[in-house]
Copies of this chain bind each other. A is one copy, B any other.
Amino acid sequence: MDTYVPQRILLGPGPSDCHPEVLKAMASPLIGHLDPVFLEYMNETMERLRRVFQTGHSLTLAMPGTGSAGMETVFVNALEPGDKVVIGIAGAFGERMADVASRTGAEVIPVRAPWGGIVEPEQIRSALRSHSGVKAVALVHAETSTGVWQPLEEIGGMARDCGALFIVDAVTSLGGVPVRVDEVGIDACYSGTQKCLGAPPGLSPATFSPRFEEMLERRTKKVQSWYLDLTMVRQYWGQERFYHHTAPITMVYALHRALGVLLEEGLDAAFRRHLVNGRALQAGLEAMGLRLFAEEGHRLPQLTSVWIPDGVEDAAVRARLLKEYGIEIGGGLGEVKGRVWRIGLLGHSSRRRNVFLLLSALEQILGEAGCRTEPGAGCAAAEAVYRNPAIIR
């Protein structure tokens, strides 16, 4: 009947390792969801989230579910039957957005680009030209299925110009690369706790602009989800403190502490850490003769997708990494299932020691699988990045 949990090193696409401070916070005894001390926690969590989202939006909170619940929150609140939404799709999470949005009865206008690349601004412009009265434009900032870093600024401007809400999935980007909600003009942005924020999965931080809130007021139909209905949830997180659901207390402790750890490090320092470790890993993988999947120039530092070399068996390599080294990396999703690996250096997992450990473990395992790699080339290339970070883009 006992709980035994092995100690892994989580280098997949999430969850990532929690900082020990976050684990400790989770062992704190419960207090009530309307306890004055807990309301303080909520207020502080909102304030910390605003700093991390780089926003002044008053409606900034943590929805009581994982990142996908945040995604659903945005679409069920934004859309009513018949509304039009343009969704950029270049991976599994773009596809998920389209699925979630279509269940509201809205008309989804998909704008697809090949996996591994970005959605080009021109594609969105053309969709906006050929459809009138689009209510929202949605993009995935960090596509977790491909490791692609989608630029937001230009498309955000187009959305604003045609009066549409701009929706951004920042599940894998928040805390790892800058998410500048106010500067970019994002109206609805959601994330997850288990990626670069370094808390366990279970909450979805999200922020909504005043424009989004005005739209909420103008809805003609109740939000189709009671659980994710922002018109009610915001009265619990707001000054009214109306009881809605029972907040996942312990998860709020964890998020509160994880945001504390992140802000103590400083956002810029955290972005730099993710960037350097990610580029070191990518240089190492390339030096070992592996090919990166995401298009050059649009690679996320915190999540690296890499083609599995010919003749190498996906599951066997991942099983050996897990069993012999305690390392988890991720397999491919959807159309690249079995063909790519996804290696995350997210949050507390983004550490120099993990880069070297993974590169050396992979060198052993791939060598035995018959992939010729120059001994030590991966680690040497990574080391070169650390020694001369000026080469990093």
Residues of A bordering B, CB below 8 Å: 1-3, 5-8, 10, 12, 14-18, 23-33, 35-37, 64-69, 71-72, 76, 96, 99-100, 102-104, 192, 194, 200-202, 222-228, 243-251, 253-254, 256-257, 260, 263-264, 322, 328, 333
Contacts and interface: CB of A to CB of B under 8 A. Distances in A.
Contact of A3 (B15, B65, B257): B257
A27 B20 CA distance: 9
A309 B310 CA distance: 78
Q: Which of A99, A103, A200: most chain B CB closer than 10 A?
A: A200
Contacts of A263: 1
Given A225-B72, A225-B103, A7 B29 contact: yes
9 contacts: A5-B28, A10-B32, A23-B28, A31-B328, A67-B246, A71-B226, A201-B246, A227-B228, A248-B251
Contact of A26 (B27, B100, B103, B256): B27
A243 B260 CA distance: 30
Nearest to A8: B31
Contacts of A247: 66, 201
A7 to B, nearest CB: 6
Instruction: Name the prevailing secondary structure of the A interface residues.
Output: loop
A333 B27 CA distance: 30
Contact of A99 (B103, B202, B226, B256): B226
Contacts of A67: 245-246
Nearest to A200: B250
A227 B65 contact: yes
B264 A1 contact: yes
Contact of A96 (B29, B226, B249, B250): B226
A65 B64 contact: yes
A202 B250 contact: yes
B18 A5 contact: no
B246 A66 contact: yes
A8 B30 CA distance: 7
Q: Which of A17, A65, A248: most chain B CB closer than 10 A?
A: A248
Contact of A227 (B23, B28, B69, B257): B69
Nearest to A194: B246
A103 B76 CA distance: 12
B33 A201 contact: yes
B1 A18 contact: no
Closest 9 CB pairs of A and B: A202-B248, A27-B27, A5-B28, A200-B250, A1-B260, A26-B26, A201-B246, A100-B226, A68-B245
Nearest to A259: B1
